[in-house]
A and B are shown apart, each in its own frame.
Chain A
């Protein structure tokens, strides 16, 4: 090896960024500004509501007020609300009183995740079509009380149209893992109901642990069919009018949230550490009380009603933690704090809605 620069040029292989870079960056700026405005308003409201609650009721967790001590905000002057109090909430969690999507449980018919522009979409037998989006909410989606997920409603014929379009590719007779090449867009996971079972297909890079190393590469025909499915499912304008029961976008309001706790080393990816009583004790007491009220799903995951999840988020904020990211972008509420006895490690608390088929989803690119 005589010239590292030459080697790196070989590694780049003439790759160039996607076109219209400057215009894309300006659009990104516009989305970001809009989301920041919305988020700033909603977080301000969350503080406001918590403070009023403490003053008027003695606190949601029977914590006695100690006048003059602790420096806790005790007056309703923290932040002027910019939207009606009844619409207040924590961004990423539905507004208090929002009606959960019905029915609570649903049978998943079709699911797609991935693509160059990341998309996640779920289609249910009852006609619900739920979108999650890593980058932005769809145009026209409601922003107040946004959970990061929106729903529309298909007719039974619409559900069947999508299902048969996917099945007709012939790729879903059995579960299938395919390798994708470096020039093919993003990874894709698709699940579709075929008879009594959901058949899945994953199309991903070799080192992705969802795809075994000896998986076959997608043929050009398979890659083309997968691209076609992605295009179909991400472009609802191409669907027939008869597919729609109600095309209006509504916020998807889950009935339950799953809350996860994880300790991560700060230095890049690595094994996360188990969460135990010592880590739980780092959280404000009302938060640990609420977690105990939930159903412990596994070692570090708890399932709570949406109201309890909101109360938990409020307890964390009241305890001095701040949401780490804008859920409008990440579709997940996250809090983080340093672990004092493990310098450099952080404890994260994150919230993900439980979808009608029972899976909790945490979307987040960072």
Chain B
């Protein structure tokens, strides 16, 4: 008689289950980080989906990494950068415009913060989001961005100061 196999004993199923846990743990915070980065929730959702899919496709390797979430964030940042350039192609030649920032609507505190973030240089914005939102240390944020930890700290310092200037007294 063939004994029924416990699903949990099948390596592929275990791996899939581990990824699903990873997905559930990271999906919302990654989406929110990308929302802060792009200012557009649809763009953020799409980028988060693609980044998570890439982690899933390489999960045998990514899952064994010391920091799978670092891989995920690096992938998401790279996707965003490459997409910016492609969007320029569309924006310039196709339909004459593609929104890369979703900054309109009612003037709310939420809107003000995203608008201020959008005015920061991309490097400062990335550093702020990685460290302040995703909670990475400057060393790990540096690995994600491909720069030194000291450069991350410099960008953080300038980013915080710029945010302070941009938001002024409203952010007390």
In angstroms, how far is the closest chain A Cβ from the Cβ of B54? 10
User: Across the interface, do A269 and B53 meet the contact criterion of CB distance under 8 Å?
Assistant: no
In angstroms, how far is the closest chain A Cβ from the Cβ of B121? 10
Stretch at the interface among A44-52, A204-212, A287-295: A204-212
The CA of A365 and the CA of B80, in the complex, are separated in Å by: 11
User: CB of A364 within 8 A of chain B?
Assistant: yes
| Closest residue of A by beta carbon distance from B128 | A4
User: Across the interface, do B101 and A5 meet the contact criterion of CB distance under 8 Å?
Assistant: no
Q: Mark A15-44, 1 if CB is under 8 A from B, else 0.
A: 111100110110011001000000000000
User: CB of B48 within 8 A of chain A?
Assistant: yes
User: Across the interface, do A348 and B53 meet the contact criterion of CB distance under 8 Å?
Assistant: no
Most buried by B among A10, A28, A209: A10
User: Across the interface, do B95 and A13 meet the contact criterion of CB distance under 8 Å?
Assistant: no
Q: Contacts A12-B36, A205-B99, A208-B97: A22 and B23 contacting too (C-beta < 8 A)?
A: yes
Q: Contacts A15-B32, A183-B105, A206-B103: A8 and B133 contacting too (C-beta < 8 A)?
A: yes
Q: Mark A349-366, 1 if CB is under 8 A from B, else 0.
A: 010100000000111111
User: CB of B172 within 8 A of chain A?
Assistant: yes
Q: Which of A4, A10, A17, A365 makes the CB contact (< 8 A) with B86?
A: A365
User: CB of B18 within 8 A of chain A?
Assistant: no
Q: Contacts A17-B27, A206-B104, A348-B89: A12 and B32 contacting too (C-beta < 8 A)?
A: yes
Q: Which of B48, B132, B172 makes the CB contact (< 8 A) with A4?
A: B132
Residues of A within 8 A of B90 (CB): 362-365
Residues of B within 8 A of A207 (CB): 99, 101, 103-104
Residues of A within 8 A of B42 (CB): 116, 185-186
Residues of B within 8 A of A16 (CB): 28, 31-32
In angstroms, how far is the closest chain A Cβ from the Cβ of B85? 6
User: CB of B82 within 8 A of chain A?
Assistant: yes
The CA of A16 and the CA of B172, in the complex, are separated in Å by: 26
User: CB of B167 within 8 A of chain A?
Assistant: yes
Q: Mark A256-274, 1 if CB is under 8 A from B, else 0.
A: 0000101010101110100
Q: Which of A15, A264, A363 makes the CB contact (< 8 A) with B94?
A: A363
Q: Contacts A5-B133, A180-B105, A366-B87: A17 and B53 contacting too (C-beta < 8 A)?
A: no
Interface residues of A in 180-215 (CB under 8 A from B): 180-187, 189, 204-210
Chain A interface size, under 10 / 10 to 19 / 20 to 34 / 35 or more:
35 or more
User: Across the interface, do B56 and A362 meet the contact criterion of CB distance under 8 Å?
Assistant: no
User: CB of A154 within 8 A of chain B?
Assistant: no
In angstroms, how far is the closest chain A Cβ from the Cβ of B143? 20
Interface residues of B in 136-164 (CB under 8 A from A): 160, 163-164
The CA of A195 and the CA of B50, in the complex, are separated in Å by: 44
Q: Which of A17, A186, A366 makes the CB contact (< 8 A) with B85?
A: A366
User: Across the interface, do B99 and A187 meet the contact criterion of CB distance under 8 Å?
Assistant: yes
User: Across the interface, do A181 and B106 meet the contact criterion of CB distance under 8 Å?
Assistant: yes
The CA of A214 and the CA of B28, in the complex, are separated in Å by: 34
User: Across the interface, do B132 and A21 meet the contact criterion of CB distance under 8 Å?
Assistant: no
User: Across the interface, do A8 and B113 meet the contact criterion of CB distance under 8 Å?
Assistant: yes
Q: Mark A277-297, 1 if CB is under 8 A from B, else 0.
A: 000000000000000000000
User: CB of A11 within 8 A of chain B?
Assistant: yes
Residues of B within 8 A of A121 (CB): none
A-B contacts, 25 of them at CB < 8 A, read A2-B172, A4-B132, A5-B133, A8-B36, A12-B35, A13-B110, A18-B45, A22-B27, A25-B52, A179-B104, A181-B104, A181-B105, A182-B102, A182-B110, A184-B105, A185-B42, A187-B97, A205-B104, A206-B104, A207-B99, A269-B85, A272-B92, A352-B93, A361-B94, A363-B90
Q: Which 5 A-B pairs have the closest CB atoms?
A: A366-B86, A11-B113, A13-B110, A181-B105, A206-B104
A181-B105, A363-B94 known; 20 other A-B pairs, CB under 8 Å? A1-B163, A8-B113, A8-B129, A8-B133, A10-B110, A12-B36, A13-B108, A15-B35, A17-B44, A28-B50, A179-B104, A210-B96, A217-B105, A260-B93, A264-B89, A269-B87, A348-B89, A364-B86, A365-B90, A366-B87
